[in-house]
Structure 1
Amino acid sequence: MRWDGLFGDLDAQWHAAEQQDLELRVNELARMEAARLTLADALRGGLGGEVGAVLRNGVAHHGLLQRVEDQWMLLLEGGRSVVVPLAKVLRVSGLGPARASRRGRVHHSLAAALRVLARNRAVVVLELESIQPSRLRGVLDQVGADYVVVQQLADGVVRARDNQQGRVVVPVEAMVSIMSAADNEF
């Protein structure tokens, strides 16, 4: 009987050690999996929900998270769409614990989103990275590899030849957000 109790105790200790080792391995695998996730994956987990994003220039945008690509996210904020380069985000609030990897094989870069706006001749407002918030209103005439050409428009007026204020080149790196009417297709 004593031997049965001794072997039973040793067996229980062995099973407890095995269970502890298994839990350590599972926890380490979970940490390794989490380490592979990107900001875009965290944002994709919040698709369809309301989020707030504070950007590098101090401006905050609050809206419905409609789309997330590797380089940018799309918010519906009131009656306008806001494209935010992920590299310009300081923090995001309103996300839950869900995470989601990218689906599909087609990747839409920030340049691709800007080309849609240029093709549609959409009036946009570019928020630029600067010490004080700076905005530029106009139409994207050209989208280059790392810059855009903007035909500037006077504030508060519709697009017409007599209100054009010249063309300006803006590095994509300087753009903190791109706002346009909500009916643009992204």
Structure 2
Amino acid sequence: MRWESLFDDLEAAFVAEAEAELEAEIAEAVRLERSALRFVDRLRASRGTQVQLQVAGGRRVDLRVGAVGEDWISGAEGPREVLIPAAAVQSAVGLARQGQAEASHVRRRLGITAPLRQLLRDRAQIVILGAEGVLVEGLLMEVGRDALEVLPAPRGELPRRRGAQEAVTVSLAAAVMISSA
């Protein structure tokens, strides 16, 4: 009878130890999976939801997340469509806990200049915000590899092209948010 009790105790201890080991392995696997999770993948998994971003300069952006690229986020801030460089985002509230990697090999290669070239084709009036406020407002004229050229014009007015010397060139590194009407 004592032997049977001893074996029952040993078996219970073995089962408890095996369960604890399994739980520790699962916790480690979750930690490893989370360590590989990228910010843009969490944003991509949040597509269609409302998140609050804080961007460089302290500005808070309530964004309904749209398309997400490798280095950019698009979406709606109220009635405006905005494009935000991922590097400009300092913090986020309301992101999905899981991530969603970009499935398309082609889309993975598209940087922020891809949606900007679409705005250029649409002859879009844009506003470029930097960390300290509006950098320029007007008609998008050119999209380079690391800079944009905008012909200044107040909102609602068509710019008058008087010459390239009036165009404002903005480094993409300085852009915190680009919005279009």
TM-score by length of 1: 0.87
- Counterpart AA for 1:157: G
Q: Which residue of 2 aligns with 1:117?
A: 119
Q: CA deviation at 1:177?
A: 0.5
Query: What is aligned with 2:31?
Result: 31
The verdict on how the C-alpha distance between 1:61 and 1:118 changes in structure 2, with shifts beyond 3 A counting, is same
Contact 2:139 2:159 in 1 (8 A): no
Structure 1: runs of 5+ lacking an equivalent: 182-186
Tell me the CA shift for residue 34 of structure 1.
0.2
Residue in 1 that maps onto 2:82: 82
- String of CA shifts for 1:76-124, please: whole Å, max 9, x gaps: 1222101011100111223343432223222231011111111211010
Displacement of 1:63 = 2.9
Compute the displacement of 1:145 (Å).
1.4
- Deviation (angstroms), 1:49: 1.1
Aligned to 1:136, the other structure's residue is in SS state strand
Q: Aligned residue for 1:172?
A: 172
Give the match for residue 161 of structure 1: 160
Contact 2:47 2:67 in 1 (8 A): yes
Name the CA distance, whole Å, in 1 between partners of 2:156 and 2:47: 34
Contact in 1 for aligned 2:151/2:161 (Cα 8 Å)? no
- Larger deviation: 94-103 or 61-70? 94-103
Aligned identity (percent) is: 31
2:44 counterpart residue number: 44
- Partner amino acid for 2:75? L
Offset of 1:52 from its aligned partner? 1.7
Normalising by structure 2, report the TM-score. 0.89
Aligned pairs for 1:131-150 within 5 A: 132-150=132-150
1:65 and 2:47 aligned: no
Return the alpha-carbon distance in structure 1 between the equivalents of residues 82 and 98 of structure 2. Answer: 23
Aligned residue pair count:
178
* Contact 1:62-1:77 at 8 Å conserved across structures: yes
Tell me if structure 2 keeps the 8 A contact 1:73–1:86. Answer: yes
Aligned equivalents of 2:155, 2:168: Cα separation in 1: 19
Unaligned runs of 5+ in 2: none
